[in-house]
Each structure stands twice: as structure tokens, then as C-alpha cells.
């Protein structure tokens, strides 16, 4: 079974690779092709490494890692998904925020997103956050996932990514127990 664990600084490059692969498979046509092609593994890995070392504002990253028998001959465990969270960057929407949730295409529809969301929500609840939110691009085909987990639409805004305006939606779980309940499974998986 795939393990969900707290990320370590040594995971930063693998996390960045998942980030880039997910953006390139999810956002063609929505974000400029040149922007997606220019995503830099060293730059993105550096950002995740800093976050993992500094752990400011309640930050935590969780990774979905293949068990050794499902990996090729690699020294570093293969990360197939991750989620990051922290205390909310903006006041007024929620106390906690899930910043990222990415699962490689070949590993979707296996419960990893739900398990990563649960790990992030449990961390936020443990540091005292009574509510949690996230931003998702409105044209992201995975937006339904957050709705299925009970996220309530509480706001919309336009941001610029790669020089292109895109709309994003704020999804809220208040209280945070709504997300913890929605991500729980009777079989314990």
C-alpha cells in the first residue's frame, strides 16, 4: 500500500517533479504553453526545500510514497503525490489553508487525494485551526473532487498566472471536522 507520510527536505526535488508534471497535464489550454514548458525543477524544488526546512506559520507537507516493491532501483522513495498546508495566508476566510494537492495522473482514482487531504486537515486541526479552505482554478477538471468532499464555494477572484488572467474559487470546510469526516473511510485506508 502507498504510504502517506510527512515530507522531508530530501523529498523536495521529487515533490517539485510531481508539481510540474501535474501542472503540465492539468493546465494546457488554460495556462500559456510557454509558461508550462518553462517550469523550472531547480527553482520549484528550492521553494519546497525552503518550506520543509523553515516550516513557518504551521506549514506541513505530506507525500504519497510507493512501497519499495513498486519502485524501480532508486535510492530515493518515489513520490506520486503530495499536499501542503499552513495557517491561512488571508484572514477572514478560514484559519487553515491547504495550499497544494497534486497526484500524478497514473495514481489518481485510488484514494490518494483523499488520504493527503485528510493528513493536511488533521495537521491543521492539531495546530488549532477550526476551519480550512483552499483555492482551486475554476477550470481545473479536478474541482469536483473538493465539492464531493463537502467544500463550500465561498468566493471567487481573478489572478494572473504566466501573464494570463484565470479565475479561482475559494472552497471552505467550516468546521474543519467536515473535511476530516469526509476523508475518513470505514476500512481505515
| Average model confidence (pLDDT) across the chain | 93
List, for residues 68-108, the tens digit of each pLDDT value: 765 565 555 699 999 999 999 998 999 999 999 999 999 99
- Burial of 81 (C-beta count, 10 Å sphere; 0-12/13-18/19+): buried
Instruction: Compute CA distances 31 → 21, 127, 135, 160, whole Å.
Output: 14, 35, 16, 10
**CA–CA separation, 126 and 117 (whole Å):** 14
The per-residue pLDDT for 189 is: 52
**C-alpha cell belonging to residue 112:** 490518494
The domain limits of the chain are 3-183
Per the document, the length of the chain is 189
List, for residues 144-173, the tens digit of each pLDDT value: 999 999 999 999 999 999 999 999 999 999
- Domain 3-183, CATH: 3.40.630.30
**Angle, nearest 10°, between helix axes 41-54 and 12-26?**
130
First to last CA, the chain: 9
**Position 6 pLDDT exceeds 60:** yes
Confidence of residue 54 (pLDDT cuts 50, 70, 90): very high
The per-residue pLDDT for 184 is: 93
The per-residue pLDDT for 166 is: 97
Amino acid at each position: 500500500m502507498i504510504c502517506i507520510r510527512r515530507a522531508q527536505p530530501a523529498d523536495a526535488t521529487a515533490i517539485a517533479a510531481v508539481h510540474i508534471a501535474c501542472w503540465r497535464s492539468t493546465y494546457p489550454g488554460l495556462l500559456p504553453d510557454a509558461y508550462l514548458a518553462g517550469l523550472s525543477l531547480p527553482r520549484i524544488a528550492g521553494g519546497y526545500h525552503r518550506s520543509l526546512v523553515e516550516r513557518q506559520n504551521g506549514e506541513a507537507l505530506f507525500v504519497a510514497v510507493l512501497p519499495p516493491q513498486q519502485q524501480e532501483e532508486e535510492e530515493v522513495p518515489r513520490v506520486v503525490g503530495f499536499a501542503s498546508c499552513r495557517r491561512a495566508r488571508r484572514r477572514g476566510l478560514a484559519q487553515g489553508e491547504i495550499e497544494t494537492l497534486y497526484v500524478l495522473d497514473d495514481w489518481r482514482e485510488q484514494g490518494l487525494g483523499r488520504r493527503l487531504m485528510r493528513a493536511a486537515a488533521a495537521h491543521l486541526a492539531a495546530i488549532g485551526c477550526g476551519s480550512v479552505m483552499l483555492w482551486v482554478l475554476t477550470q481545473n477538471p479536478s474541482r469536483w473532487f473538493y465539492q464531493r468532499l463537502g467544500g463550500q464555494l465561498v468566493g471567487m477572484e481573478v489572478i494572473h498566472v504566466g501573464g494570463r488572467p484565470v479565475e479561482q474559487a475559494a472552497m471552505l470546510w467550516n468546521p474543519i471536522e467536515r473535511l476530516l469526516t469526509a476523508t475518513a473511510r470505514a476500512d481505515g485506508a
